[in-house]
């Protein structure tokens, strides 16, 4: 039986002259599914184990090679998720709103948000120590160029900690309000795949918002349920988790399937640099989050044709954008 067409249900999603909507028709889905289903062979067990065991090392190499230049800052994020610039914490909370980003990279989400929302306080962590170091440098540069630097100093003010909790920056204090010795951003090195988020990074049930942006797809699907449950522990009851990631039938997934050299398991592939990519369905995500104690606010596909200005090549990208509230 043919799958139903997939339509873009985000009328206000950011568009530009090189980004426009499209719909996946039954015919397009059938064609993509045939390519994906025909890719039956996975890479060898040796290489699976090697890539998985070296996943953190490969992210460090990625950021060493690309520095801060690979991903653009996500200025679209406060247009799509305007809750983040409301400057309001959860009802009954004291102090400014607190956001935690699970897998912050070099701050492509956090820094644009902090620049537009002057009351927002953020915690970010990433498995890559190189990424967190670059985040610290970027935030230091922002402070040195802003009026905020006059009050908070031109240092990074971003706590860089290892997984054991040994601080290399300012001490982590109460989250009820900004510590005069810290800025509004604290960064940590931590791999959420391995264990619960330590309370020295973020006490349980303390964050008003969570961000999970192109992170879950980089993790083996066998860990997805546990990772979402760990994210939930950091959030207050009623807190909103904002999600965006790759969707099934994205052009990159079809390219992986055609190569027949990248598959680890169904819908999960390894890139040439050793990083991973998983491709979700909305139904799958809803099940994962609701099992972890969230309710679904919104959960839909974003279908975009992206035109490369230089080559004039059109790429059909499939993403999923969702909001989940912790019950």
Rounded to whole angstroms, how far apart are CA atoms 250 and 219? 17
Question: Which of these, 100, 105, 107, lies nearest to 131 by C-alpha position?
Answer: 105
Ranges of each domain in the chain? 19-326
Residue 166's SS3 state is coil
| Beta partners for residue 212, in sequence order | 243
Rounded to whole angstroms, how far apart are CA atoms 213 and 242? 8
The pair of three-digit structure tokens given for residue 199, joined into one six-digit string: 């309370």
Residue whose structure tokens are 């170091």: 133
pLDDT tens sequence for the chain (327 residues): 457 889 887 766 666 777 888 999 999 999 999 999 999 999 999 999 999 999 999 999 999 998 877 787 888 888 888 888 765 555 556 678 999 999 999 999 999 999 888 889 999 999 999 999 999 999 998 888 876 545 554 444 444 444 444 443 333 344 433 333 357 999 999 999 999 999 999 999 999 999 999 999 999 999 999 999 999 999 999 999 999 999 999 999 999 999 988 999 999 999 999 999 999 999 999 999 999 999 999 999 999 998 888 888 889 999 999 999 999
Which pLDDT score, from 0 to 100, does residue 160 have? 44
Please say whether the beta carbons of 290 and 296 come within 8 A.
yes
Residue 314's SS3 state is strand
> Domain spanning 19-326: which CATH class is it, in words?
alpha beta
Q: What is the pTM of this model?
A: 0.86
Long-range contacts of 236-239, Cβ-Cβ distance < 8 Å, separation of 24 or more = 236/90, 236/93, 236/205, 236/206, 236/207, 236/208, 236/326, 237/205, 237/326, 237/327, 238/90, 238/91, 238/325, 238/326, 239/90, 239/207, 239/208, 239/209, 239/210, 239/325, 239/326
């Amino acid at each position: 039986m043919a799958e139903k067409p997939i339509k873009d249900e985000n009328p206000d999603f950011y568009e530009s002259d090189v980004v426009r909507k499209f719909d996946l028709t039954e015919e397009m889905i059938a064609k993509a599914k045939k390519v994906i289903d025909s890719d039956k062979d996975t890479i060898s067990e040796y290489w699976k184990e090697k890539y998985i065991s070296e996943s953190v090392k490969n992210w460090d190499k990625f950021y060493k090679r690309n520095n801060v230049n690979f991903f653009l800052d996500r200025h679209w994020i406060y247009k799509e998720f305007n809750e983040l610039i409301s400057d309001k914490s959860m009802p009954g909370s004291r102090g400014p709103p607190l956001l935690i980003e699970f897998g912050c990279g070099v701050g492509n989400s956090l820094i644009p948000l902090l620049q537009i929302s002057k009351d927002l306080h953020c915690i970010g962590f990433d498995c890559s120590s190189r990424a967190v170091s670059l985040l610290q440098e970027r935030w230091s540069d922002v402070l040195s160029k802003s009026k905020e630097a006059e009050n908070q100093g031109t240092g990074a003010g971003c706590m860089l900690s290892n997984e054991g909790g040994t601080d290399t920056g300012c001490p982590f204090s109460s989250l009820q309000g900004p510590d005069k010795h810290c800025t509004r951003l604290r960064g940590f090195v931590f791999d959420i795949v391995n264990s619960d988020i330590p309370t020295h990074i973020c006490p349980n049930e303390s964050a008003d918002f969570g961000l999970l942006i192109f992170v879950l797809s980089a993790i083996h699907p066998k860990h997805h349920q546990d990772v979402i449950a760990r994210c939930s522990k950091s959030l207050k009851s009623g807190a909103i988790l904002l999600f965006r990631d790759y969707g099934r039938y994205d052009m990159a997934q079809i390219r992986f399937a055609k190569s027949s050299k990248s598959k680890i398991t169904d819908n999960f592939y390894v890139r040439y640099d050793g990083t991973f990519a998983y491709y979700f369905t909305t139904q799958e995500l809803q099940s994962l989050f609701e099992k972890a104690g969230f309710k679904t606010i919104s959960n839909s596909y974003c279908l975009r044709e992206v035109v490369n200005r230089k080559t004039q090549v059109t790429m059909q990208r499939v993403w999923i954008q969702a909001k989940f509230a912790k019950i």
